[in-house]
A and B are shown apart, each in its own frame.
Chain A
Amino acid sequence: MHFHVKKYGLSILVGIALCSALFVGCDDSNNEEVVAPDTTSGTLEISDLVMQPGGDASKMNFCWYSTDTTTSEVQIALESQMVGTNFPLSSAITYTGTIATSNGYISNKVTVENLNENTDYVYRVGDGTHFSDIYTLSTYDKSDYHFIYVGDPQMGSSGDITSDEEGWQATLTQALTTFPETSFILGVGDQVNSDDNEDQYAAFLRPAELSSIPFTAAVGNHDVGTLYQYHYNVPNASTKYGTTDAEGDGDYAFTYGPALFMVLNSNNTSGLSHEEFIKEVSDAYAHDDTIIWKIVVLHHSIYSSARHSDDSSIITRRSDFYPIFDKYDIDVVMMGHDHVYTRSYQMLGDEAQKNQTVNADGAVVNPTGTLYVTSNSASGSKYYDFEENDTAYRAVRWQGYEPSYSNVQMRALWIICRDS
């Protein structure tokens, strides 16, 4: 708050000085401002536009489909510089990126840098000559922010893709209305039902919210395959760890304020591969005092409550992964795949650590072990029932047969994840 006042205070002083200068010695006839009409915005047809967080909170990754273009560009400027509906080209910064062909489309990927906190931007994407419509994106405080955690939207899985898309859109609308100023949306995989289906990707990426709020994509068992690498521009995707034969889908990591997020591709069942990735990333940030939280994101939940909870492939992953998360002191693991909301106890060595210090709000203070959370369907395309057997590791499990999401508040000192 204090910082904003300082910034605005300075602007006001400068403004007053300028206005005074005008009144004192101006000649109106020399002050005609000619605003050139914006003839290039909206001249390019694009689709499937989506953003991912960049390597840190000052960067943003863009990805979109176009046809017959040969270069990819993003132009970004302050929203305050907009004159009417004209894109403020003179103050905009242009970033160029890469292109690749996919199914007859061009997949464009660009990274934008030097974003400030608490700023409203406008941007457009294009090929240097023709550009899309103008979009907005806003950044917020990176040391005290919140993100929306969604699970398995799995477009197409119910058999009725229109209904799945409506459910997904409704969840996004409700989440972002209830929790405005969201920094990003965290997904845990299974965005689509069939990895090679463009209609399903189109349905998933159609909500307008995805062009103004970044979405962290993860590779689910339904996504692993051809199109994933063309629809998401994830930051720092490893080419060595966590990849599958599909390529372009390795483990990746990014920071956002006090949190380090490591998104693993759990379709790759080599624990060693993921361990080397976590080690590499943890080492890189070992001396960075601003990083307080380590969060892992992966698709195949290893502590869940529905039909996948006792799959032998899940039990094998559990015994493979939990020692790694214990070793590298991971605070929270966010997962999906099993379509029932489940929150574990603090877990260490595969055992519930029930003796924790709990504050007046019921939150754990300086907890031991790791928290494992599993999400429900964010679109309503598929719900699982609880398994009849209960498990020693779950603190809360919920299935309301409605699309759901969670809001996660991130602060330098604590993470708040509400069950209600």
Chain B
Amino acid sequence: MSGATVHFERAQVLQIQDETLHDSDIQKGLKVGSQTLLVKIVTGEHKGETVSATNALSTYNSVVGKVGSSLIVIVDQLDNGLFKTRVYNYNRIPYMYMMALLFFGALLLVGRKKGFMASLGLVYTFLCIFTIFLPLILRGYSPLVAALILVSLSATVTMILLNGVSKKSLCCILGTVFGVTLSGFILMLFSSFMHISGLNTGEAESLLLIGHTTGLHVRDILYSGILITSLGAIMDIAMSIVSSLYEIQVHSPHASQKILFQAGIHVGRDIIGTMSNTLILAFTGTSLNLLILLASYSVEYNQYMNMNSTAIEITQAMAGSLALVLTVPLTAFISSHILAKKTLEQNIL
């Protein structure tokens, strides 16, 4: 953009200079109208300056400025220096940091050393997403390959942090990577039967515009997304199986591969009851708005089941959950082979 710049800055409300507010006709308790606020800009080129900011409140964006509020304002400035300030939204960043700190704090308090390692693993995963995964796909590399790299790195580092370089870690890493790959494969298979891809998502148009200049593979983004979504749950179930089998093997060193495998399946049966709900309910929760709209507008069954957004949500939930369940025998199989001590005859040979 030339001739003008638009920046989002933090600001503190000092005074309400003028306001005409009334209740929204559409939603009780929501204020609509306008305010003129005297604010002190806290960041950016105009840091420290006290200016008047306009605030337009509507049902879809009702930000009520109060004295002392921390808000995000838009500083809209022409090249000649003339600028105007208007309210964008509340400043939510401090609360997000607070929640993150509480989360990590609880992780440390409850998990102690492992909690600390787990938080390091989480930070590492996010670093990978922003420094490896996103740059790769924006340079036109296959989103599937990029996701596989991300998942492998994340699982490996997280496991090593938690359990050091050990057979336990190895089993868990392998179980996770194979489980997650399975979820991607299942999603791709069914998506091809059902004719779904990244081109059917709500953001497809914007993604295609980005793809025009970056080589982004819009179609495959959908399939790579499920690898990241299911990573957490699959790592969880893999670790549960591996951990149980490891304990069994330590206390019964002569347990054969077959016994360990059976044990893994039995342990899996107990956990799968609650684990199978994880992804399905997670997808249901995020789709709540859609469910409500469909329920109240009496959309016909054939229409809403086949809408792109519904089909994508259901397919992802099912692919992830199916892979989650299959991770049990998969991990049990891998772990039982790695953990079982070889018999004397096999050692000699």
Contact = CB atoms under 8 A, between A and B. Distances in A.
Chain B CB within 10 Å — which of A243, A272, A318, A388 has the most? A272
Interface in B73-101: 74, 76-79, 82-84, 86, 88
A108 interface: no
B17 interface: no
Contacts of B82: 272, 276
B210 interface: no
A348 to B, nearest CB: 12
Given A250-B3, A268-B4, A307-B202, A273 B78 contact: yes
Contacts of B78: 240, 270, 272-273, 276
Contact of A272 (B77, B202, B293): B77
Contacts of B60: 310, 315
B125 interface: no
Nearest to B56: A319
Contacts of A268: 1, 3-4
Contacts of A143: none
Contacts of B5: 270
A198 interface: no
Interface string B264-296: 000000000000000000000000000001100
Contacts of B299: 388
Contacts of B88: 316
Chain B interface size, as a band, is 20 to 34
Contacts of A250: 3
A272 B3 contact: no
B32 interface: yes
B61 interface: yes
Interface residues of A, number: 36
Interface in B95-151: none
A239 B297 CA distance: 48
A272 B26 contact: no
A361 interface: no
Contacts of A276: 78, 82
A239 B78 CA distance: 12
B2 interface: yes
B34 interface: yes
A244 B26 CA distance: 37
A272 B2 contact: no
28 contacts: A221-B209, A240-B3, A242-B3, A243-B1, A243-B3, A244-B2, A250-B3, A267-B1, A268-B4, A269-B1, A269-B6, A270-B1, A270-B5, A270-B78, A271-B76, A271-B86, A272-B77, A272-B83, A273-B76, A315-B61, A316-B88, A319-B56, A323-B34, A323-B54, A349-B34, A350-B56, A388-B294, A392-B26
Interface of B: 1-6, 25-26, 32-34, 54, 56, 58-61, 74, 76-79, 82-84, 86, 88, 202, 209, 212, 293-294, 297, 299
